[in-house]
Amino acid sequence: MYSFANDYSEGACKKVMDALIESNTVQTPGYGVDMFCRAAADIIRKKTACENIDVHFIVGGTPCNILAISLLRSHEAVICVNSGHINTHETGAVEATGHKIIAVKGVNGKITPEEIRKAVSLHTDEHMVKPKMVFISDATELGTIYTKDELKQISDTCRELGLYLYLDGARLGNALVATANDLSLKDICALTDMFYIGGTKNGALFGEAMVIRNDALKADFRYLEKQRGAMLAKGRLIGVQMLSLLEDDTYMNNARNANVMAQALRYIFNQAGIRMYVDSPTNQIFPVISNSLLRKIQAKYIVTPWQKFDKKHTVVRFVCSWATTKTAIQEFYNDLITYVNEK
């Protein structure tokens, strides 16, 4: 069984693995205050063109989101789209820190300034939570990406309304190398208050780099990191991996492979007359597949049924990663042709 189920089915890309091996016996202080973490932070400062950021290396994406939102006071709430990861797939992690999520309608997984304004306008007094942060992800949970203009407008709206803008970058690489993308890491940093660069889904064994640009959010972050169990004893492991990914083009190349492979799958589906549920330019695609075809595919491939489309069709998620090979795609192509022709 070959898996297109997600982008964390394998371990780390070769360069990251080599860096871990090479640094393995070096002694460093614990908890992320080592030279590898410092070097990785410095590279991120350069790539974001922002000397003044704080960078923290966190063990995973859910901990990042928990930490970001635990910066709020308890009556302050976070706005996100209905399909946002924190609203759907983190077992109430945000609420477990005491905060309400104000879920709003998204457009293909993306939030709009209008929905943000509406959410704020509906929360008028102390009998309601106070919206204070907007959560977005890029690429989104539906594989879509924000344009520079869209992000600029969201950012402007947040600043006007006194909201922090936090970006979940679990698949930031996939967004930044997408064909239609016009955002850079510098833009991301300048337009948000806080975001993270995802490692887990783009070539690391695990680990994300949290970037805090807004001074108001910087104080005592390491206390929260420890308190929430998100600080690794051997913190240097994340530094080593992030350094390895970001010191050259590895991070972008990994993401590019994921996108190219997924877009090849999309092309294959199109050839077979199968349409997409949403127009995603990144490494996740969502073909609408007849249930009979899906059963055939699932005999040989692991994929994720996303939601019911109609009685006879299902939206299915296919994900590619840095590890997906041309061979796998070619084989899937052959299989799909066979399955379709069997009808």
Residues 159-178 contacting its own copies, CB under 8 A: none
Question: Closest CB to its own copies among 67 and 183?
Answer: 67
Candidates 17-25, 109-117, 135-143, 147-155 — which segment interacts with its own copies by CB under 8 A? 17-25
Number of residues that bind its own copies (CB under 8 A): 72
Q: Which of 47, 118, 148, 228 binds its own copies (CB under 8 A)?
A: 228
Q: Does 214 bind its own copies (CB under 8 A)?
A: no
Cα separation, 271 vs 116, whole angstroms: 39
| Nearest one of 80, 56, 11, 96 to 223, comparing CA atoms | 56
Question: Closest CB to its own copies among 84 and 281?
Answer: 84
Site residues for its own copies, 304-333, by CB under 8 A, read 323
Candidates 44-52, 209-217, 223-231, 269-277 — which segment interacts with its own copies by CB under 8 A? 223-231
Question: Closest CB to its own copies among 55 and 191?
Answer: 55
Asked if residue 321 lies in contact with residue 287, where contact means CB atoms within 8 angstroms, the answer is no
Q: Which of 24, 273, 327, 343 binds its own copies (CB under 8 A)?
A: 24
Both tokens of 293, joined, read 């075809």
Q: Does 98 bind its own copies (CB under 8 A)?
A: yes
Q: Which of 100, 110, 256, 313 binds its own copies (CB under 8 A)?
A: 100
Query: Which amino acid appears at position 263 of this protein?
Result: Q
Q: Does 224 bind its own copies (CB under 8 A)?
A: yes
DSSP letter for each residue of 257-304:
HHHHHHHHHHHHHHHTTPPBSS---SSEE-BEEEHHHHHHHHTTEE-E
Q: Which of 205, 272, 288, 340 binds its own copies (CB under 8 A)?
A: 205
DSSP letter for each residue of 178-242:
STT----HHHHHHH-SEEEEE-GGGTSSS-EEEEE--GGGTTTHHHHHHHTT---TTTHHHHHHH
Instruction: From residue 261, give the alpha-carbon distance in Å to each of 32, 58, 112, 115, 254.
Output: 34, 28, 29, 34, 11
Asked if residue 169 lies in contact with residue 198, where contact means CB atoms within 8 angstroms, the answer is yes
Q: Which of 46, 49, 52, 74 binds its own copies (CB under 8 A)?
A: 74
- Least distance from its own copies to the Cβ atom of residue 198, Å: 10
Q: Does 82 bind its own copies (CB under 8 A)?
A: no
> What's the helix, strand, coil split of the chain in %, to 5?
45, 20, 40
| Nearest one of 229, 232, 190, 183 to 209, comparing CA atoms | 232
Instruction: From residue 74, give the alpha-carbon distance in Å to each of 59, 93, 119.
Output: 24, 14, 18
Question: Closest CB to its own copies among 188 and 232?
Answer: 232
Determine whether 294 is exposed, middle or buried from the number of CB atoms within 10 Å of its CB (0-12, 13-18, 19+): middle
Q: Does 47 bind its own copies (CB under 8 A)?
A: no
Pairing state of beta strands 76-81 and 208-212?
A: unpaired
Q: Which of 27, 216, 273, 341 binds its own copies (CB under 8 A)?
A: 27
Q: Which of 49, 52, 96, 271 binds its own copies (CB under 8 A)?
A: 96
Candidates 3-11, 44-52, 183-191, 255-263 — which segment interacts with its own copies by CB under 8 A? 3-11
Question: Closest CB to its own copies among 17 and 260?
Answer: 17
Q: Does 206 bind its own copies (CB under 8 A)?
A: yes
Question: Closest CB to its own copies among 3 and 153?
Answer: 3
Question: Closest CB to its own copies among 58 and 165?
Answer: 58
Cα separation, 303 vs 310, whole angstroms: 19
